[in-house]
Structure formats: C-alpha cells, structure tokens
Amino acid sequence: MKRPISNVVAALIVLVAAPAQARRTAAAPADPAVLPEITAPAAYMVDVNSGRVLFSRDAHRRFVPASLTKIMTSYVAFELIAAGKLSLNQTFTMRPETFRQWHRVGSTMFLGNQSRTTVADLLEGIVTVSANDACVVIAEGIAGSVPAFTEMMNGEARKLGLHDTHFHTPNGWMDQGQTYVSAADLATLASALITRHPDLYHRFYGHERAEFNGIAQNNHNPLYGHTPGADGVKTGFTGEAGYGFVGSVERGGRRIVFVLGGYPRPRERADQSRRFAEWGFAAWDSHPLVAAGARLAAAPVQGGTARAVDLIAPRGYAITVPRGEHPRYTLAIRYKSPLTAPIAKDVEVATLIVRAPGQPIERLPLVAASAIGAGGVLDRLRDGFAAITGAGAKP
C-alpha cells in the first residue's frame, strides 16, 4: 500500500557569534577517528566489502528522497543494459507533451522539443547534472510511460529487499510523499549499483562536470575535490525533502557507502559528509577474507553436463573491525544441495556466511565459476548410478 509521508520540516538553528578572541584563535585539527557531529535526521554508513554497518540513526525511517530517486532510475537502466535489453547507443525522443511539462523544470540538460538523445547521454545527464527532463525521456523510452517505468523501479526495489521504499516518479520531483525511501534502503541500492555493475558505474558516476549541447554544468557532489577516492553517488534537494546525499568513497580497494538525509542547508550537508567519510576510514580497519575470483568450494550438480560446479567470490570480501581490534570470525558456505542444471556462469548459487563476535551475521553471495548445461540421457544415467552407489561429486 502506498503510504504518503509528511514533508520534512527544517528546524531553525540560531548561530551565536563567538567572542572576538576565540575567533582569532585557530582551532586544532579534528581527529578523523573521532565520530564527528552528524545532525542529519537519518544517517547510515556501511562498509561494502564486509557488509558491516558502521553507523546507523533512524535507518528505516521513511523520508522523501528528491533526486536521490535517480539512483534507482540509473539502476534500472544498468540492469537492462546488462541483460542485453537496452543499448547505450539507442536513442529516445523528447515528446512534445514531455517537453511542455519538463522543459527547464528544476535541474535539466535542456533537451529540445522532439530531440533524439542516446541512452548514454541521458544517463550522463541524470547522474552528473541530475537532469529531470532526461529521467522522464528515458522512462518513457524504456517503458512507454512514467507509470510503467516506476513499476519497474518498484519491481527492482522488491528484488533488492527494500522494504521502506516506493517510487512514484523517475526523478524525485515533489509528489506529496508518494515517493519515499529509507537510509538503509538507499545504502543497499547504491551498493548493488556499484557491485552489480562496476563498469557502468565507473563510466557514468564520479564525473565532476558534464557538457551537453554546448552547455557545461557542475556536479553538486560535496565530496568531489575534497575527499580522495570519492566517486559518487548522488545529491538531492527539494523544499519538501531538504538536502540529502548518498556518498561513496573507495580507497585501497575498500569502499564505504553512506546516506545522510534531511539537512536544512547545503553547507551542513557538505561539511558533515566530508568528515563522516574520513571517519569511516580512520576509525575502522578492513581485513581481507576472500579475494575476487577465489574458489571456495565445489557444489554437486544434478541433471547437468558436469557433476559439480566451483563456487567463487564475485568480488573481494573483508571483515571490518574498529581500528586496532584483532578480527575474529568463522566462515561457512550454504547452498541447496544438489544444485539443479542448467546453471549460468556468474549466477548466485550459494552464500558465504561470516560470523564475528558483536556483529550481525553477514551473508555474501557466491557465484558459479562456469556454465553447466542441462544433461542428456547418459548424464542422467550417470547421476542415477552415482546416487545408488553414493559416489557423489567431491568438493
């Protein structure tokens, strides 16, 4: 059921002038390992490599996302591109009705009436300059209408387990709270965007500016030019939502994603997001568990051209602990045995369970190292004989 939520109301903050002598005294540099003040009503940080939540405040509180919505718009497009159902070279037309509704409305890439634009250019406009017009054009081009596209957005949200999220627009324009998200859901979405589609993510995210039809515009990401390793994700603002941000920073192969929602002013969002990102690296250590592509086990396969398939980590996994703490953990692999052919390469077929004292259990995906086709008569006879004799596939 769609449940509208109330508008975000910015609290008034009275600033008191410091004494002249105090103003003249330079403040000591803040220790990045000490948690900075975070005044955002909703805040969340996760270490993507380990899945450990580093900070959480009202993580499941629903709020209006504004342009943070566009993360899901790009995610839907990335999923379709990966599935071969959408091409970056495809072009979509700005319909006259869409032009009348969205020309120069909020952030825009100034698409002309009945202009034809490639998917690649539309994504660049959506991701880098937060183009509202591009979101509607790509939505109508992909699904035929905005309602049909938002159904796709909500379908992907369900697949990702986003229980506190609903989309009513592809660009996050004000809709009386019919579009809502939570900080935890946004972090899950951003992590999936990055880990499922790393090539597309690096192609379209992380750009400080974009130029289209001779018009150059800057990205409003507050980390760019200030925080080493920052490469995303998205800012958002409307009077209904306040100032929000989903940030991503990668250093030395370790990535953190964080969400800050509901600031009354952009300066607070910028200052606190930069300090928050530094704290995520300074206060926590990451210890590698599994390298990307590492073989962890072999799972038996029934009804296939092979009797077993290797289970590998699709990306590097780590365990994250407070700085200076020695990591303790146990690992286990879970899957439904035997797996049933056919099995596609790189499809998730098992789960790596990580248990560590004081931490929630982490469940990380393992994928098939190779494709296993459906077997023929001889393969089924082989499996039947193995079942009778107990000569199953060995891990």
62: CATH: 3.40.710.10
Same domain, 323 and 260: no
Residue 26 domain-assigned? Answer: no
Question: For the chain, how big is the Rg over CA atoms in Å?
Answer: 24
Total domain count for the chain? 2
Strands 242-251, 91-93: parallel, antiparallel or unpaired by DSSP?
unpaired
Same domain for 205 and 91: yes
Model confidence at 372: pLDDT above 80: yes
> What is the model's pTM?
0.85
260: containing domain: 39-282
Residue 12 counted as domain residue: no
> Do residues 100 and 242 both lie within one domain?
yes
Nearest CA among 240, 244, 264 for reference residue 5: 240
- Which residue in the block uniquely carries the two structure tokens 């009945």? 114
pLDDT digits (tens, 9 = 90+) for 221-253: 999 999 999 999 999 998 889 999 999 999 999
231 and 314 co-located in one domain: no
CATH number of the domain within which 326 lies: 2.60.410.10
pLDDT at 255 over 70: yes
Residue 22 lies in a domain: no
For residues 6 and 347, give the distance between their C-alpha atoms in angstroms, rounded to a whole number: 40
In this prediction, residue 9 carries a pLDDT of: 31
Among residues 256, 282, 308, the one where a domain terminates is 282
CA distance from start to end of the chain: 46
Q: What is the mean pLDDT of the chain?
A: 90
Q: Is the per-residue pLDDT at 218 higher than 90?
A: yes
| N residues, the chain | 395
Higher-pLDDT residue of 387 and 73 is: 73
Identify whether residues 223 and 109 lie together within a single domain: yes
Give residue-wise pLDDT tens across range 293-327.
Answer: 999 999 999 999 999 999 999 999 999 999 999 99
Residues 223 and 308 in one domain: no
pLDDT at 13: 27
